[in-house]
Structure 1
Amino acid sequence: MAVHTPAHSALGGLLSYASLQPLAPGTLVRVPLGTREVLGVVWEAPASEPGVPPAQLRAIAGVLAGLPPLNAHWRALVAFAARYYQRSLGEVALAALPAQLRTLGPEQMARRLRRPAAAGTDTDATPLIALSTEQESARAEIDSKNGPFLLFGSTGSGKTEVYLRCVQDLLLAAPAAQALVMVPEINLTPQLEERFVARFGAGQVVSLHSGMTNPQRLKSWLAAHSGQARIVLGTRMAVFASMPGLGLIVVDEEHDASYKQQEGARYSARDLAVWRARACGAKVILGSATPSLESWHASRPPSEGDPEGGRYQRLEMPSRIGAAALPRVRRVDMGQQPRRAVFSAPLLAAITERVQRGEQCMVLLNRRGYAPVLHCQDCDWKSDCPHCSAHQVFHKIDRSLRCHHCGYAQRVPRACPACGSPDIAPMGRGTEQLEEHLAGLLEGVSRQGGGPVRIARIDADSTRAAGALQSQLAQVHAGEVDVLVGTQMIAKGHDFRRVSLVAAVQPDGALFSSDFRAPERLFALLMQAAGRAGRDAAWMAERGTPCEMWVQSHHPKHPVYEALRRHDYAAFAAQQLTEREQAGMPPFAFQALVRADARTQEVAQGFLAAAANAAREAALPGVEHISLYPPIPLAVQRVAGVERAQMLVESASRPALQHFLAAWQPLLHALRADPAHKGLVRWLVDVDPLAI
């Protein structure tokens, strides 16, 4: 039986229970665990494990009758995820099920299943648009070959239409087939759902993401599990959806870091999608204009020095639909601008001209709030968070200081808390200040048709209220916004038809980061942002001017910006992969992080050092192929009063790393119980980490 046992408990494996009737593997049951009654999944007993006498077993409390068992493919996916990401099987299995399902008893579930399913209102199918030559070629390749496929298409090349046609081909070919389509963030699901519902009807499409209520998620899960819903749209959690007829998985924007879970079992939904498709005989399409370097390397074509090439098949769609041109990239050297300038004179003039012609502009700054920190000019006091080794961000709109790590908030002081000076001022800029500053610069400008320029801001603060994001996006699409200011939330996936200019005002911070993935993330963000401009070829042709992407930088000749100027992802990827191969970094090496959280930094690092010594002394399998680096604090080493440290584990062999981590688990559990590490709060293993 797989049940969700407490983290780091000695009950990490399968548990045995007595049942008066034989139960098929995958059956959902209620079982006692300590003083509680919890949901369990019947699992196959390991062949090597001796049976327990029935008299010593506790009996199951009830069976959730009426639900078909979770099939063997689903159980294999959960077992693989638990094994690969070093978590207990019960934790992964139960976390993959809807929260409300974990609380319903047999009688409640029976009543729930007796309710008639809401009839889907199938709409008239939208007329199919003609595919471009590149789209038709990609569709034909996906139809005739097994994949996995990397659909490398520029922004605006029509990747979504290829997904729609491939799903349509699947559903027509097999009456019970199902398709799973994943997007990286919740805010991208409404527009995708709208397109799928318009094509296939509401009765066949359900969504699965954390923004839904528990009853909504259970309803969608049951529809997918029963086969009633043939298309499931969702975020990373949807990779575990029970879909007995699964025949196709689409992972849109496959490069996005949001596919990596950052709590509990730290799985990559993209990687699990590839594994799941292969295990159940489905096809998988990974789509992106800026693929992850791992996927790009895995799709490399055969060459003289590498006759086999990668295991993915690369499909390219470099052209935009309707002969729309990619934006011209213009770089501004901020070293040649006035010292405190936020917007260079050429960029401000370009924004003014576009607004006066009735076009929309988009300004990207990946930092929310008004300013990153408040600062005292007299004593150098800064608005540090009392619970974290980070600053509290100044939010002018509600006069608050807020920590974006632990959530601690307080009112802005009238004077410096340290010296009493009233001379405290914001340092740096966030989207809130950028919006205010831009409004001042455009105060005397009239938009087309008369009236002041309308500026809107979209970030995690402005979209906190329910429905706020959808309302703001609707205003942009309706042309009620002239300039949109925002964080990375506005850079991905949105089909803004009237945006003709995109500007990145302070992108340099990622160029010299200690994280080796920072240039890859910056290039992807800027390419995605650039892709919001000029998406409607006919509308841009009427305007008579090309769309533009402006980058303000103190290092305009940096290779990242040079590749961006040419829209040359292939050259950027080649340069990055060469550097990574020389440095022995992924995808040419495999990594895991062991992290320890404790009351003091000494305890956290002491636990990690002891774990490394124990591994060497025990001569664990694969240790000779493993590099264990010294423990160090995290970049933000204290969050909510807890100190955090990490240790990098690296190997050139994925199997060697996996064998080592599996053998290391018992030692880590034993060390946690050692009184020498009193004060340790928790430890965890992060396989294939995205940030170090």
Structure 2
Amino acid sequence: MTYWPSVVVATPAHSGLAGPLTYRSEQPLAAGNLVRVPLGAREVLGIVWSCPSDPPADCSEEQLRPVSAVLDGLMPLGDGWRQLVAFAARYYQRGLGEMALSVLPPALRDLDNTQLARRLKRLAKVNGSAACPETPVSRPQASAEQQQVLDALGTLDRPALLYGSTGSGKTEVYLRATEQVLQDDPAAQVLVLVPEINLTPQLEERFRQRFEPRHGSAALVSLHSGMTPAQRLQAWLAAHAGTARIVLGTRMAIFASLPGLRLIVVDEEHDPSYKSQEGARYSARDLAVYRAKVESDRGPHPCRVILGSATPSLESWHAAEQGRYRRLAMPGRIGGGELPRLRLVDMNHQPKGATLSPPLLAAMEERIARGEQCLVLLNRRGYAPVLSCDACAWKSQCPHCSAFQVFHKLDRTLRCHHCGFTRRVPRACPDCGNLDIAPIGRGTEQIEEQLAGLLSQAVRPDGTPARVARMDADTTRTKGSLEQQLQALHEGEVDVLVGTQMVAKGHDFRRITLVAGLNVDAALFASDYRAPERLFALLMQAAGRAGRDAGHSGHSEMWVQTWHPTHPLFAALKKHDYPAFAAEQLAEREAAAMPPFGYQALLRADARTQDAAQAYLNGVADAAADLPGRDEVTLYPAVPLPIQRVANVERAQMLVESHSRQALQRFLWAWQPLLLQGRSLPEARGLIRFAVDVDPLAV
């Protein structure tokens, strides 16, 4: 008997083949089976979406190509996983096959049955050797606030927004909630999401200490882009088989195949890193809420989701205000520690040209003398953002981007942080030959150098000089470097740590009592309406690194250098009053019909010229005049992106707004055929690609 499986393959939406393709098979195939099928001259991996026994009416049997092979060593991908992928593809305006295949491990796409069997055998061997008898594990006593939250989680009927101050013990809540789920159901699985790879080592260590003695080392796997293809495949197979009880990962892990999923934790749920900015631009936080609902509707056991943060996103806070989420608060710190006091340094009253104010330096010396640690936050890596010539106004412009190359003094290079182009620092100005070219602005590399000089007389309690270190994307590039730097900080080998935002969230630094924020004013008056929210969250999170040890919390401080000390944001920050800040921001957003009170999408176009990119956008906007629901959306004129050229590609965008999420989605789907046809517009010649970004984070 012949069957006619519908198979999704990796075809992008703009190819015109966004849906499943029909093939021929001599055996019935289950939905979710992985198969190898011919596509053009290639053989590719596909996923069976359905397998009817009736032939399609629009083509003959001879026209359909047979399935080449079935990867029968793997159980089919579950209904819940396929429903999640289908929703993500539909909501974020991507091809179904593009979405489904892009979230599978890359190494899986090239395997045949023999190779797959070898890896499954290896996985079984690892699981067998890792098994161990149940071992009791010591754990700290839960605080009253933690216990109240855990009791509420047991009866939860909607997503939980865990609003806990920094140092309140949110991680212990995650651990105990995970423990309860695994105890109640021997087949249950838990997914824990973190915003960035650098947060995984510390959290993984906490989870391993708690669960490895009882469940074995194979019960927990990590899943993120920093792993090798072989490691990612092994972790994915363990999760898919159900042998990995806990999966810890970044946003990509939301698409892990977890047949026994019962709990999803999204730590630091406010973090913009949960929104992908390339390819399928999905939000892992929002998909976590959707996936929990799907899993709860499908099975006999509920799947709960916990969104945790000291500074929740305004979207989540608003959802809790409306009652769609249940807000669970933990305002106190473990051990009764106090939140750090805010000290605003008015830079208008400091010495001209001072990067670090004298009072701040004096406070740092005092901390170092007591054996305490300091954290200096500057969200800009490199030595200086730009090199400049005073004689002719030359600047270190990237030849391939509309951005400046950043000066890195350590290796004497100019690097573009957008396209990666690197060159040596010129000995003289390339335009006029002037030898006096100088850096403008400051990055973490320069602050580290200046602090080493300014604190050269500061001494530790043992009489040794103070030690300054830096942690950013440059110093943590090599494998294992992040773990080494964190270990050095925890062991007290570093007195002052200079870093970007990567050091401001999630880390448990016990001896830091002073945090300083430099150059924070850039976000106060930015054109992006989300900038104040991001700045407030960053400063609150950074402040939370101080005073986490109750013995030091009484004199922990957050110093912020600013030219605008009377700005309302600092008034809320001084009181650690996130609810007041959120209320003010939500009122402004409501008045302007901005998210979460309005809904947005961006249509982006990349082309060889800016004219072609904008011509394409304006052309497809004109063509949409008669689409159903056009009167419910607003299309703004095309404009260049803030950085309009990257790697010699010109970029433009068009904002689409609506008062209704459903109306926006209906319009975008009706618009898709016109977006494909728009590539043939004569004035859009030179168009390279287009993409739709639903719920964008940067407008």
Shorter-chain TM-score range: over 0.9
For 1:574 and 1:143, the matched residues in 2 are separated by 29
| Cα deviation, residue 597, structure 1 | 0.6
Match of 1:671 among 674, 678, 682: 678
- The answer to whether the 8 Å contact 1:188/1:494 transfers is yes
Conserved in 1, the CA contact under 8 Å of 2:514 and 2:546? yes
Rate the CA distance shift 1:397–1:15 in 2: closer, same or farther, 3 A: same
SS of alignment partner, residue 417 of structure 1 = coil
For residues 24 and 534 of structure 1, the distance between their equivalents in structure 2, rounded to whole angstroms, comes to 56
**Where does residue 528 of structure 2 map in the other structure?**
515
Pick the aligned partner of 1:159 from 155, 158, 170.
170
Q: Are 1:42 and 2:48 an aligned pair?
A: yes
Q: TM-score under structure 2 normalisation?
A: 0.95
- Given candidates 259, 280, 290, the residue that maps to 2:274 is 259
Compute the displacement of 1:203 (Å): 2.7
Over residues 384-435 of structure 1, what are the superposed CA-to-partner deviations in whole Å (9 max), with x where a residue is unaligned?
A: 0011000000000000000000000100001101111111000000000000
Work out whether residues 189 and 261 of structure 2, in 8 Å CA contact, stay in contact via their aligned partners in 1: yes
| 1:113 Cα offset (Å) | 2.0
Identify the residue that residue 249 of structure 2 maps to in structure 1: 234
Query: How far off is 1:111 after superposition?
Result: 2.5
**Which residue is 1:27 aligned to?**
33
Instruction: Report the counterpart of residue 134 of structure 1 in structure 2.
Output: 145
- Which residue matches 1:303? none
Which residue number corresponds to residue 185 of structure 1? 196
- Cα distance, 1:49–1:588 mapped onto 2, change above 3 Å: farther
Residue in 1 aligned with 2:16?
10
Partner in structure 2 of residue 572 of structure 1: 581
| Partner residue, 2:233 | 218
Q: Which amino acid aligns with 2:559?
A: W
1:207 equivalent in structure 2: 222
**Alpha-carbon separation, structure 2, partners of 1:66 and 1:45:** 19
1:583 aligned residue: 592
- Match of residue 81, structure 2, among 63, 74, 78: 74
Cα-to-partner distance string for 1:627-668 (whole Å, 9 max, x where unaligned): 000110000000001110000000010000000000100000
CA contact (8 A) 2:166 2:544 kept: yes
Written as runs of structure 1 = structure 2, the 5 A alignment for 1:398-437 is 398-437=411-450
- CA contact under 8 A between 1:16 and 1:52: conserved in structure 2? no
Aligned 8 A contact 2:29 2:51 in 1: no
- Give the counterpart of 1:352 among 344, 365, 371: 365
The 1-side partners of 2:417 and 2:486 are apart by: 24
- CA–CA separation in structure 1 for the residues paired with 2:235 and 2:464: 46
Match of 1:485 among 491, 494, 498: 498
- Specify the alignment match of 2:300 in structure 1: none
> What does 1:39-188 correspond to in 2, within 5 Å?
39-44=45-50, 50=57, 52-115=59-122, 116-118=124-126, 119-120=129-130, 122=132, 124-188=135-199
- 1:125–1:198 CA contact under 8 A, matched in 2: no
CA distance in 1: counterparts of 2:357 and 2:262, whole angstroms: 51
Deviations along 1:607-627, whole A, 9 cap, x unmatched?
Answer: 0000110011xx212211100
User: What letter corresponds to residue 569 of structure 2 in structure 1?
Assistant: V
Aligned to 1:295: 316
Task: Please point out which of 352, 363, 375 is paired with 2:388.
Answer: 375
The whole-number CA distance in structure 2 between the counterparts of 1:65 and 1:48 is: 24
| Deviation beyond 4 Å, 4+ runs, structure 1 | 45-51, 121-125
How far is the alpha carbon of 1:445 from its aligned partner? 1.6
Distance 2:417 2:56 in 1: 47
**Deviation at 1:455?**
0.4
CA contact (8 A) 1:64 1:110 kept: no
Quote the residue 2:481 is aligned against: 468
1:306 maps to which residue?
none
Change (3 A) 1:250 1:48: farther
Q: Aligned partners of 2:131, 2:534: CA distance in 1, in Å?
A: 41
Q: How far, CA to CA, are the matches of 1:674 and 1:329 in structure 2?
A: 57
- The Cα shift of 1:10 comes to 2.1
Give 1:467 shift: 0.9
The 5 A counterparts of 1:495-514 are: 495-514=508-527
Deviation at 1:252, TM superposition (A): 0.4
**1:286 and 2:307 aligned:** yes
Query: Within 1, Cα distance between the matches of 2:497 and 2:20?
Result: 52
Give the total of aligned pairs.
678
Give the deviation of 1:125 after TM superposition: 4.5
Q: What secondary structure is seen at the aligned counterpart in 2 of 1:101?
A: helix
Alignment partner, residue 651 of structure 1:
658
Q: Distance in 1 between matches of 2:110 and 2:428?
A: 51
Stretch moving more, 453-462 or 53-62: 53-62
Cα shift readout 1:5-64 (whole Å, capped 9, x = no counterpart): 256212111101111100000000111111111100000279997464322111111010
The answer for unaligned runs of 5 or more in structure 2 is: 1-6, 297-302
Separation (CA, whole Å) in 2 of partners of 1:450 and 1:320: 33
Query: In structure 2, the residue corresponding to 1:192 is in which secondary structure?
Result: helix
Over residues 437-489 of structure 1, what are the superposed CA-to-partner deviations in whole Å (9 max), with x where a residue is unaligned?
A: 11111112212201111000000111111111111111000100000000001
Q: Which residue type is aligned with residue 661 of structure 1?
A: L
Closer/same/farther in 2, CA of residues 564 and 125 from structure 1, 3 Å limit: farther
User: Is the deviation greater in 488-497 or in 675-684?
Assistant: 675-684
Give 1:279 shift.
1.0
Q: Does the CA contact (< 8 Å) of 1:124 and 1:198 recur in 2? A: no
Counterpart in the other structure of 1:272:
287
Counterpart mapping for 1:381-396 below 5 A: 381-396=394-409
- SS of structure 2 residue aligned to 1:43: strand
TM-score of the superposition, structure 1-length normalised? 0.96
| Identical counterparts, % of pairs | 65
Tell me the CA shift for residue 310 of structure 1. Answer: 2.6
Question: 1:571 is aligned with what amino acid?
Answer: A
State the AA in 2 paired with 1:189: T
